A and B are shown apart, each in its own frame.
Chain A
Amino acid sequence: MSKMLLEVTDLRKHYPVRAGVLRRQVGTVHSVDGVSFSLGAGETLGLVGESGCGKSTVARSVLRLVEPTSGQIRLDGEDITHLSKTALRPHRRSMQIVFQDPFASLNPRMTAGDIVGEPIAVHGLATGQALEARVAQLFEQVGLRPDQMRNFPHQFSGGQRQRICIARALALEPRLIVCDEPVSALDVSIQAQVINLLIDLQKQHGFSYLFIAHDLAVVAHISHRVAVMYLGRIVEIAGKDELFRNPRHPYTQALLASVPIANPLAKKLAPLVDGDVPSPVNPPRGCAFHTRCRFAMERCRTERPVLKGNEHQVACLLNEGTGRGQ
């Protein structure tokens, strides 16, 4: 197997739930509950799932923005799970993040040029004219004009602000960029511009994306492989085409059937699941999806399925016997 840029093994992040005057712990939120995946160099792994399923917590744990409860994160083979702040510093350069809200994530009092140049200055990589030139180059790479460096965030449109965030993420020449819903706040026509930009930049620089979104079509477009999360766990992971053409997990199937297709002649919406996502506080025992699953068997209520398979992995007891779920 080729060397992996990022390897996440059995990652867990649990938060205590406290209540009452004494702030006694009354439960545990299982935000991330045993997630494992790997990401190759130059590859894009899409992470999809509904709100609260733990996508963003996975992203933030990978970057060590939140401390995982347990599990291991390896970057380039090196275990970074417990590195101290100083020891982590060189690795911080190689991992960057782009957030959903291009409005909230930019300091309104800094010029766009300073925002993009800041990480370069902080890491002491360039100053003065050299810094200026590097920032201008980054502006051009993301489709902004260098003369816009002097403008403030409010003078940019939503799509342009997201370009500023991307330029800032590129500044340190990272090898991994975590994109947490990077286009969700943008209009469709602008969304397309940003998606194309991300794909072009990957082709030029060869970095990897961990791409998080709730929009399956966007994920399908940009990813090489896709992982589907439900209540803190990955329930299915496969190559993009394989996953979308041959979804095996009943949840993946339901998710796909819920996407309205932009073709009036295509099949009408057929919701395959009832009910809501259960709370991640004290989630269901066994398979977390069994409360909404059309195929749930007795075993599913008690036995927790694990991811099985090689290229196409599914965590579903129904799939275990037959190799497929229908």
Chain B
Amino acid sequence: MADRSDLVLDVKNLKTVFFTNSGLFKAVDDLSFTVKRGETLAIVGESGCGKSVTALSLMRLVPDPPGRIVDGSVLLEGTDLLALNETEMRKIRGNRISMIFQEPMTSLNPVIRIGDQIIEAVRLHRNLSSREAKDIAVEMLRLVRIPEPARRAKEYPHQLSGGMRQRAMIAMALACRPALLIADEPTTALDVTIQAQILALILDLQKELGTGLVLITHDLGVVAQAAQRVIVMYAGRKVEEAGVEALFAAPRHPYTRGLMASIPAVPAPGVAAPARLNEIPGTVPSLVRLPKGCAFAPRCPLAVKRCEAEYPPLTDWGGGHLAACWRAADVAEVA
């Protein structure tokens, strides 16, 4: 195994379930992955596949009821977060592990000035005078490239534009220099030009601070431009994991392959656009009534009898390229 000392996060066999009116289901099932210092791991997949529940599980913020983490371990810098009580977890959350959301108002308080919110977050975890904390707050706003940070620090969230608010939330999340940052669709609600600015900002800061980043997105463009490693999820499970170049060059799972072929591309010089997009037939199955074998089998062009009967194990196809598919060896040959 590679050097484990630079591992920031080591998740093993995470399982999070929900008890709902329509039944019990596993929103995240047997999920394992690691993140190194300064590394970006993208988690990609369609709506409802368990990306956000994974993030909330790492933060220990799964609403209980109806949800509960029932199995696994989440080692953050060697400490198992799942073994901590809520008081201990509060010392770590926002300090060693932070999260930014799609909608900045989920973590910004509308009636407190931006600067004071950052000051509060910093003083919760560090023994600083209010003067020192204030300096850090302004410095953080400068770091996320908010113009006139000292003046902006005195404003309320509603006085900022959407992009500025997102920057303020990032400033708050990074104020304590966490070892791990989780970003759940951080740019999805923003306009394209602002999206690019914010994504570039997150990546710059991550490099500068050496933070490990879990980037959750449904946008394969964002994955390709930002991540070093990628996990593809389907119906609560990891179906594929690989380095970003290996994944895009030769996806091993038919679902990943189907996703890549179904996204339209902006025309590039010398590249003929396909007349039709690839379709993945059917829809994502209900988590309450998952098929016995591979959850993707009912939509899979390569499915055989075995796929319906037995769940395929995650297999290493070389160089840490994992895929859970009985037909993975044949995927490359089918266009």
A-to-B contact residues, CB < 8 Å: 50-51, 157, 159-160, 187-193, 195-196, 199, 214, 216-218, 220-222, 240-241, 244-245, 254-266, 268-274, 276-277
Contact = CB atoms under 8 A, between A and B. Distances in A.
A190 to B, nearest CB: 7
A220 B193 contact: no
Nearest to B45: A187
A51 B194 CA distance: 11
Residue among B220, B225, B226 with max Cβ neighbours from chain A (10 Å): B225
Contact of B248 (A193, A240, A264, A276): A264
Given A220-B273, A264-B245, A192 B193 contact: no
Contacts of B225: 260-261, 264, 268-269
B334 interface: no
A51 B199 CA distance: 18
Contacts of B263: 188, 192, 217, 262
B170 to A, nearest CB: 15
Interface string B241-280: 0001100100000000011101111111100010111111
Interface string B192-216: 1111110110000000000000000
Contact of A262 (B199, B248, B284): B248
Given A192-B278, A271-B193, A276-B194, A265 B265 contact: no
Nearest to A266: B224
A19 to B, nearest CB: 16
> Which 10 residue pairs are nearest across A and B when measured between Cβ atoms?
A260-B221, A221-B264, A258-B196, A192-B262, A50-B191, A189-B280, A192-B277, A271-B196, A187-B46, A262-B220
B197 A245 contact: no
A35 to B, nearest CB: 19
B222 A245 contact: no
Interface string B215-238: 000111111111000000000000
Contact of B196 (A189, A190, A260): A260
Contacts of B281: 193
Contacts of B197: 271, 273-274
7 contacts: A188-B218, A193-B281, A196-B277, A217-B264, A258-B193, A271-B196, A272-B193
Contact of A220 (B194, B195, B267): B267
B248 A241 contact: no
Contact of B193 (A222, A244, A254): A254
Contacts of A256: 266
Contacts of B218: 187-188
Contacts of B194: 50, 276
Nearest to B225: A260
B196 A187 contact: no
Given A240-B267, A241-B267, 14 more contacts: A50-B193, A51-B191, A187-B284, A189-B280, A195-B277, A221-B265, A258-B192, A259-B196, A260-B221, A260-B225, A271-B200, A273-B197, A274-B197, A277-B193
